[in-house]
Amino acid sequence: MQLEEAFISQGLFIFAANLNDPFMIIFEEALSIINNTRVSCTTEHVSLEISAGRILAEDVYSDVEMPPFDKAAVDGFACRRADLHGLLEVIEVIPAGKQPEKAVTAGKCSRIMTGAMVPEGADTVIMVEHTEETEDGSVRFLKEKTSANIAYRAEDVKQGQQVLNKGTLLKPQHIAILAAVGIPEPLVFRQPVIGIISTGDELTEPDNKPGTGQIRNSNAWQLMAQANQLGLKTVYTGIAADTPESVKKHISEAFDKSDIVLLTGGVSMGDFDHVPEVMQKLGVEIQFKSIAVQPGRPTVFGIRDEKFIFGLPGNPVSSFVQFELLVKQLVYRIMGHHFRPAVLRLPMAAEYSRKKAERKSFIPVRINAEGLIEPLEYHGSAHIHAYEEANGLMAVEIGEAQIAKGEMRNVRQL
């Protein structure tokens, strides 16, 4: 399909969908609203051991050279390359952490350990296993040639060089850099606290056997886990009943205790779907309440006094996917980071087709050992079990009903 045709067909589908739902926006617009929402980022110092997962709030410069001196890269003998093929007299043993006392001159060498300072005069370190000791305690090199086996002073990092950028999501390898440049308490952006509410009279907690018409509350636990995976603190207010009073009480409590409230259920068209109305009564300014996306169409997003609330659909896949796509984006914005999901472009292992194509879909897929995309059996937004094996989400665009085997597609890794 030509780009222009695709554009027209997307437009028509959205137009048709809009006849039933004048508030419906396309997914990209919802994402752009989140990405342009005004947030205030504040900072704090935290200790290195709890810094992974946080976002660096300042550029970091090195106060030292790395390596700080010419360093032996192997255990062996430091000598002059010119002397490699003669007998070498051992004049000193240099452990790591000790300053060499003697310079290496013609026909001499120093026994040296990995990480130790290369003595003056030496330009090569021969590996101990490539040598043999003679009866008088001298050393002979047994190979034809060798690399220098020296890590040179400042070859990795110069003093004063910028080593980390503000906005970096700190991973263990960044923590090593912070430690190496002497920053035991990096400045990072504060994290939002996540308030979680489940709504629905049919819900019972996981430790109960569901009675007639009941189901277990899985959303709250799933959302807590998603937030915890980002290192966020959560406050769970429990299950709200399907009454405006109960929903109001829970939202007020969650607003008091958190920065982003995540509520599931009660956002659609049912007689007991009070959430959007209650939000408005509580002074929430609704930014959107319907997206041409599947799962997650009736996703509500609102703002009140620099705090945020998502009304996520009750179906567990919808709340899982919209946390991944929208909530995570806002969380990272508040933490001063522009989150870019890891995306792989790979061929389809099999054909995929769907009956309706009015909404953009995100479907669970598995990237298999051959690097092919396998669409998983998926019955819709209640089918959380489809995600058991999923390691990716694949977008299917508006107007797109079929994807051929072998076609190259982007997969967002989970």
Ligand X SMILES: Nc1nc2c(c(=O)[nH]1)N[C@H]1C(S)=C(S)[C@@H](COP(=O)(O)OP(=O)(O)OC[C@H]3O[C@@H](n4cnc5c(N)ncnc54)[C@H](O)[C@@H]3O)O[C@H]1N2
Instruction: Select the binding partner of residue 268 from ligand X, ligand MOO, none (C-beta < 5 to 8 A, by kind).
Output: ligand X
**Shorter beta-carbon distance to ligand MOO: residue 76 or 296:** 296
Binding stretches for ligand MOO (CB under 6 A): 294-297, 313, 315, 318, 381
**Shortest distance, position 381 Cβ to ligand MOO, whole Å:** 3
Which of these ranges, 49-57, 80-88, 160-168, 310-318, lies near ligand X under the rule CB under 6 A?
310-318
Site for ligand X in 277-296 (CB under 6 A): 295
Task: Give the Cα separation of 373 and 212 in Å (integer).
Answer: 39
Task: Give the Cα separation of 203 and 183 in Å (integer).
Answer: 48
**Shorter beta-carbon distance to ligand MOO: residue 191 or 264:** 264
- Residue 198 sits at the vertex; the CA angle it makes with 194 and 203, to the nearest 5 degrees, is 155
Which of these ranges, 121-129, 228-236, 262-270, 363-371, lies near ligand X under the rule CB under 6 A?
262-270
Closest CA to 258 of 328, 194, 301, 191: 194
- What are the start-end ranges of the E strands in 52-192? 60-61, 71-72, 76-79, 89-94, 108-112, 124-127, 131-133, 139-141, 150-151, 162-164, 187-189
Residue 316 contacts ligand X per CB under 6 A: yes
Instruction: Select the binding partner of residue 198 from ligand X, ligand MOO, none (C-beta < 5 to 8 A, by kind).
Output: ligand X
Please give the distance of CA 412 from its chain centroid, rounded to a whole number. 12
Task: Give the Cα separation of 222 and 239 in Å (integer).
Answer: 14
**Shorter beta-carbon distance to ligand X: residue 311 or 375:** 311
**Shorter beta-carbon distance to ligand X: residue 7 or 23:** 23
Amino acid letter for position 172: P
Would residue 55 be called left, alpha or beta, if left means φ above 0 and alpha means ψ between -120 and 50 degrees?
beta
Long-range residue pairs from 26-31, CB within 8 A, at least 24 positions apart, any chain: 26/291, 26/292, 26/360, 26/398, 27/291, 27/292, 27/293, 27/325, 27/360, 29/288, 30/288, 30/291, 30/293, 30/299, 30/301, 30/326, 31/325, 31/326, 31/329
Instruction: Select the binding partner of residue 202 from ligand MOO, ligand X, none (C-beta < 5 to 8 A, by kind).
Output: ligand X
Look-up: residue for tokens 């956002």? 267
Residue 276 contacts ligand X per CB under 6 A: no
Asked if 366 contacts 376 with a C-beta cutoff of 8 angstroms, the reply is: yes
Task: Give the Cα separation of 387 and 376 in Å (integer).
Answer: 8
Which one of residues 18, 218, 287, 410 is an interface residue with ligand X (CB under 6 A)? Answer: 218
- The residue of the chain with the least Cβ separation from ligand X equals 314
Residue 217 contacts ligand X per CB under 6 A: yes
Instruction: Select the binding partner of residue 234 from ligand MOO, ligand X, none (C-beta < 5 to 8 A, by kind).
Output: none
Site string for ligand X, 374-403 (x = CB under 6 A): -------xx---------------------
**Shorter beta-carbon distance to ligand X: residue 232 or 292:** 292
**Shorter beta-carbon distance to ligand MOO: residue 234 or 294:** 294
Which one of residues 16, 96, 176, 215 is an interface residue with ligand X (CB under 6 A)? Answer: 215
Asked if 194 contacts 234 with a C-beta cutoff of 8 angstroms, the reply is: yes
Residue 298 contacts ligand X per CB under 6 A: yes
Instruction: Select the binding partner of residue 218 from ligand MOO, ligand X, none (C-beta < 5 to 8 A, by kind).
Output: ligand X
- Give the burial class of 117: count Cβ atoms within 10 A of its Cβ; 0-12 exposed, 13-18 middle, 19 or more buried: buried
**Shorter beta-carbon distance to ligand X: residue 184 or 380:** 380
**Shorter beta-carbon distance to ligand X: residue 62 or 294:** 294
Residue 264 contacts ligand X per CB under 6 A: yes
**Shortest distance, position 380 Cβ to ligand X, whole Å:** 9
Look-up: residue for tokens 């050393």? 139
**Shortest distance, position 162 Cβ to ligand X, whole Å:** 46
Which one of residues 203, 232, 247, 403 is an interface residue with ligand X (CB under 6 A)? Answer: 203
Task: Give the Cα separation of 346 and 411 in Å (integer).
Answer: 7
The residues, any chain, with a CB within 8 Å of residue 387's CB and separated by 6 or more, are: 317, 320, 364, 414
**Shorter beta-carbon distance to ligand X: residue 67 or 295:** 295
* 67 upstream amide cis, omega within 30 of 0: yes
List contacts with ligand X (CB under 6 A): 198, 200, 202-203, 215, 217-220, 264-270, 273, 295, 297-298, 313-316, 318, 381-382
